[in-house]
Amino acid sequence: MAAKPDVQALLFDVFGTVVDWRSSIVDELTRFGTEKRLQADWAAFTDDWRGLYQPAMDEVRSGRRPWTILDVLHRESLDKLLVKHAITGLSEADKDHINRVWHRLKPWPDTVEGLTRLKSRFIIGTLSNGNVGLLTRMAKNAGLPWDVVLGAETARAYKPLPQAYLASAELLNLAPGQVMLVAAHNGDLAAAAKVGLATAFVARPTEYGPHQSRDFKADRDWDVVTDSFIGLAKAMGC
């Protein structure tokens, strides 16, 4: 960290970096399907759901659609996929429960220990495309000890738009260089670096399960490159 002595806050990408969304959702939907006697390929369903994530945000990023939080985008995608996968007979309460699986994602094994160590020395928070309500409930469910919940909703801009990063730093009264983005995705880090944030890459090579096609490793010399939040804590002197 000699190169980044000014960092006061570490802000984290969440889906994939902090929590294992794919295994969490496949596991929970598989249990739900068994209880409800529903037949479906829940892994394919989960991958399809995540597949609609970027296109849904693109409608908002482009300005074709006014600001809309991720819970709403997730629900619209879910409704499409229930048709595509021919899953029928669910009540409104069932659909709402399924949609809120994103509030119940499980952390990677090293997440909570790493965050707890980092919290002793830095402000730690989210910088996620998830909405504040989603991230707050996820933190309570998973025991994530955030100091502050920031991201697309507080910035009114989805990553990787520059405003998502800059507004998050500004909300902490920090210059971009005093904030480090932690992410498992090179593209997210590239966008953050472009507007002046410090960067840490944490490899999560199983995020997409058998379909992982990229982000196996750092594709640039980010300020920190590691493979767990424990490694990150050590690199940051915690």
Please report, as ranges, the residues that interact with a second copy according to CB under 8 A: 69, 71, 123, 125, 131-134, 136-137, 139-140, 146-150, 153-154, 171-174
Q: How many angstroms separate the CA atoms of 112 and 136, rounded?
A: 15
The DSSP call for residue 6 is T
Q: Which is nearer to a second copy, 135 or 202 (CB)?
A: 135
Give the shortest CB-104-to-a second copy separation in angstroms: 15
Least distance between a second copy and beta carbon 135 (Å): 8
Question: Which lies closer to a second copy via its Cβ, residue 178 or residue 186?
Answer: 178
Q: What is the full DSSP assignment across 52-113?
A: THHHHHHHHHTTSS----HHHHHHHHHHHHHHHTT-----HHHHHHHHGGGGSPPBPTTHHH
Beta carbon of residue 25, minimum distance to a second copy (angstroms, whole number): 19
CB of 26 or CB of 56, closer to a second copy = 56
18 SS3 class? coil
Q: How far is the CB of 154 from a second copy (least distance, A)?
A: 6
Nearer of residues 23 and 136 to a second copy, judged by Cβ: 136
Residue 14's SS3 state is: coil
- Bridge-based pairing state of the strands 148-151 and 179-183: unpaired
Say how many C-beta atoms besides its own lie within 10 A of residue 167's C-beta. Answer: 18
Least distance to a second copy from the beta carbon of 72, Å?
10
Please check whether residue 24 is in contact with residue 40, taking contact to mean a CB–CB distance below 8 angstroms: no
Closest contact distance (angstroms) between CB of 79 and a second copy is 18
**Closer of 56 and 189 to a second copy (Cβ):** 56
Question: Among residues 26 and 166, whose Cβ is nearest to a second copy?
Answer: 166
Burial (CB count within 10 angstroms: exposed 0-12, middle 13-18, buried 19+), residue 22: buried
